[in-house]
């Protein structure tokens, strides 16, 4: 079931996110996020943007949301999307189902462009974005440093309007 997030979900969402912080380079956070910081982020995003979860038998298997790309007002119709799937739930199309719903909701807003900002290489995330029509429009080389490795970032763009 895909549904809007609620604040009672915060710990499950945080567990999903912190797995990626600790074990992967897909996020550039270097230390696990605290529950309080995650709750504040959740509150900040849900004031203005969609934030959805994929739940099965009471367990959250993934989540997706959109948020500001940048602070300046000229960017107000450009949003950045985020999708995380619980590390042991890949291959079940959870990310695709979340993206289908998130993009559907964004099409009902004044959002004109959605950006996916991905650590590269990341074949699964690249394939997910390309499946939905995102086009790679930028490649930033060695802009992040995690696990003693310089990492690239790809910028993928989807025009909704």
What are the structural domain ranges in the chain? 2-159
CATH 3.40.50.1000, applies to 2-159: no
Q: What pLDDT shows up at residue 155?
A: 98
8 Å CB contact between 151 and 139: no
Task: Report how far apart, in Å, the C-alpha atoms of 50 and of each of 22, 82, 108, 113 are.
Answer: 26, 11, 11, 15
Q: How far apart are CA 126 and CA 134, in angstroms?
A: 9
Whether pTM > 0.85 for this model: the answer is yes
Query: What tens digit of pLDDT does each residue of 110-119 get?
Result: 999 999 999 9
């Amino acid at each position: 079931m895909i549904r809007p997030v609620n604040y009672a979900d915060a710990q499950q969402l945080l567990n999903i996110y912190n797995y990626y912080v600790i074990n992967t380079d897909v996020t550039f956070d270097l230390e696990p996020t605290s529950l309080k910081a995650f709750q504040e982020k959740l509150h900040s995003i849900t004031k203005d943007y969609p934030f959805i979860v994929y739940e099965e038998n009471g367990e959250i298997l993934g989540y997706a949301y959109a948020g500001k790309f940048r602070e300046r007002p000229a960017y107000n119709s450009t949003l950045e999307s985020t999708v995380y799937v619980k590390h042991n739930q890949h291959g079940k199309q959870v990310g695709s189902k979340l993206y289908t719903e998130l993009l559907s909701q964004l099409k009902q807003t004044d959002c004109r462009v959605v950006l996916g900002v991905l650590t590269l290489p990341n074949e699964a995330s690249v394939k997910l974005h390309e499946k939905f029509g995102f086009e790679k429009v930028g490649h930033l080389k060695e802009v992040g440093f995690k696990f003693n490795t310089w990492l690239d970032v790809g910028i993928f763009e989807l025009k909704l309007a």
